[in-house]
Chain A
C-alpha cells in the first residue's frame, strides 16, 4: 500500500498556482523552476576537529513559481522558512545552488557577478531594518544618489542632484532639501524607510523585492509605508516580491501568496482564494495565530505545537507533520516524533510519575533518513514493560496524530520495535482554489485519512 502513493504523486509534479494572466501574453516576467539554495553549515570547532560533517541547510528547496509583470507575490513564512533567502537568490545576492530563475528572459542562476551588477538597475530591494540598511557615514543625498553614480545614470553633479530630489519627493520626503544633507541617524524610522525606498526606485527598476519592509515600523507608520508602496506600484509600474511573516499586510497588499515552510512552498495561489479557503494546516495556523484587536475574536483554539525544527535535520515526509494537528499515516512519522511526544507528556507531569516512566525508556538512535522500523531501547531491559507503557500512553490519548503513523509495535528482548507507515513527501497539488502540498488534499492518499479528520 505505501508504495502506491509515491507513484501517484509523481504525476502530480506540476507546480501549482497559475499566475495571473500576463497582459502581454508573452513569456512570464519572472519564472522560477526548481530553485535550490543550500548552505553548508560550518560546525563547531570540535566537529571540524573530529572531521564530522555538520550538514547542509536547504534554505530554499525545489521552489517553482511564475510572476507576471505588475503582480504582487507574497512570500509568507516564519523565520527559517527560507523566504528571505529565496528573495535574495532571485536578486543574485545569495548564490542559488541549482534550478533556474529567469528574469526578463535572462537566467540569474550561475550568472557572473558583473552581469548581475548590471541587472541590479532593473531589480531592487527594500530592507527590513531601514536604519541598518543605510550607510551611517553617508548623507541621505549620497545614499540615494549612489545607484545613479554606479550605473552612470547622471550627467554631472547637477543632474544627479535633480534626480535625487525627484526620488525623495516621490517617496514623500518633501521638501527634499530638508533631508538631503541629513544622516540616517537624524531621521525617524518611517523617514528612513522612505529613503531606502527612494534609493531603490531612483534607477526606475521593474522589480522590487521588499523584505519585511514594514515589520520594524510603528503601527501607524506601517500603513503609510504600505500606501506609498501601492502608489509607487501604480506610478512606476512595479512588480513586487513581498516577503513577510504577517498574513494581514500580505492579504491587503498581494495578488498571489506563496506560503513557505522549511524552504518549500506548502501552498500557493490567488490571495483571495487562499484567505477564503486555506488548504494547508500551516496556512490555517498562520491565519489563526494573528492577534486581532477585534474584541469579538477569541483566542485561537488549534495552535500547532512547538516551533520550526532544525533546518539541518528536517523531519521526514512532510516537514510540518510534527506540529500539524491534522497529520495522519503517510505524513512521515519517525522515532524523533515519539521523543517529542514523550517530552511534551512529561512537561508538567508529577516528578515521581515522570521518573517512573523515564526509567523504562532508553535513548533511541536517530537515523539519518527514513526507516521502515525503529528500535526504542528499554532502559530496564524489559521490552514488554516498555510496550505496555507505550500502549498506555496511546490509550490515554488515542486522538494523538502520532499513533496514525505507527503500523505496529512489538516487544522484543531489550527493546520495542516500531513499524512505521511509509512516509510520502508531499508535492504541490493543484486543485480548486490554491495548490497545496498536503496529503489531506491528495486523492491518492484519501484511504489513509482518519475518519474524524475527513472534513477537508
Chain B
C-alpha cells in the first residue's frame, strides 16, 4: 500500500486548489444552519414573549384539569356552628345525587338541645343538579345567596335536634380526616397531624411538627392538607372543606335526576323487564333509554348527533368535491383538452379555491347558511374541489397515452375514448385520493366546527371554555379518536383494494 507524503499532497493541492479545499458552504453548512435555527428560536422566544407567558401560566391547575379527564370530585363542606354542632352540605354541582349518604363519611349523630340564632331549617338541603353541566355558571354562588337570605328573617330560639358531633371522612385508601368540633385529626400514610380549632379567636393551630403535605400560609390561618390523587381538605375554624377525588366518569349512564340513579345494573334490568311503570306514560325501557339520551351532564344524544354531523360534513363535502372536480379536471389536463386558455382558467380556478383557506370558506358559509353542518359541507366542498381538481388533473397529465391511442385508432367517439382509454387508468387513483381526503377531512371538520361550521367542534370548544367539563372533553375526544380510527381503517382497506397493497 502506497502512502502519500506531505510534499506529494501539497503538490496535488497546488494543482487542484478547488478539489482539496472545500467551499465555505460545504464546510460550515451544518453549524450555519444550526446557528440560524437557534437564532430564529431565540427570536421567537422574544416575539411570542414565551418566558413571560410560561412564568405567568397556572401550572398547578394543569394537573387538576388533566385529572378531571378521568376522575371527578365530590365536595362536601362540614360547617361547624359556634356551639360545636356540625352539618354536612354538598355543593349544587356534586354528582352525588339527591340523598347523599356516602359510605366514606362516617358521621356520629347526637340529639342535643341548642340555641340557634338562625332559622331552624336544616342546612343540609338536598342539592339539585342543574339542568346542564355545560352551563357557563359554574360557581355555586346562588346557594350562598339562599343561605344569607334564610338567615335574615330569624330570631334566636331553642330547638332540640339531631346534629353531627363527629365526622370521619376517608379519602382514598390511606388517608382519613376526623372532624370534631374542637379539633381535626388528619392521617395520611400512618402519620398523624392534629389541628386545634378555636372558633372564639377564629384560629387554627397545628399541634407539633407540620409535615410537608400540610400547608399553613399564615399563623393561625386556614390549613390546607393535600392527600395526593385522593384530594385535599381546607380547614378553617368554622368550616372544613373536603375534596374527595374518585376515578371514573360520574353518572355516565343515569344522572341524579333519573329514576334509575343509584341502582345496580341488575336492579335496573329487573326494573326494565318486570318492574312497575315508573312513569305511567311510557314503559320503563323507554324511560331508561330517554334518561340515558338526555342525561344532562353528558348529553349523549347531543354529542352523538354532533359527531354524526362531523362525519356527514366530511362525507358529503368530499363526495361533492370529487363529483365536481372530476369533469373539471378533464378540462384542466392539457393532454385531454387541447386548449391552453381553458386549461389555464380551470387550473387557476382550482388554485383560487385551494388558496382561500378552509377557515375563510367556513366563516363565509356560516354567515350565509347559519351555524350548522351545511356551512361545514360547503367549506370542505369548496376547498377540496380545488385540491382534488389539482391532483386529478396532474394524474390525468401523467397517464399512459398508448391505451388512449388504441381506443382512438378503432374509431371510437371522444367520450368513449375517455371512458375506455383514460378512465380505467385513473379511476383507482381518483378514488384512492378521494378516500384519503375523506379521512383527513374527518379531522379538519372537527376544527372548522369550532368557528360555527357545525359538528362536534363547537361542542368540544364550549366544554373546554368552561374549564370544568374536562371529562366531557375526554368523552368526545375518545369518540373522535374511535371514528378517526375506524375511518382510517376503512379508507386504508378500500384504498389497498383499489390500488394494490404495495403503493400505500
Partners in one complex: no
B: which residues have CB within 8 A of A?
none
Q: Which residues of A contact B (CB under 8 A)?
A: none
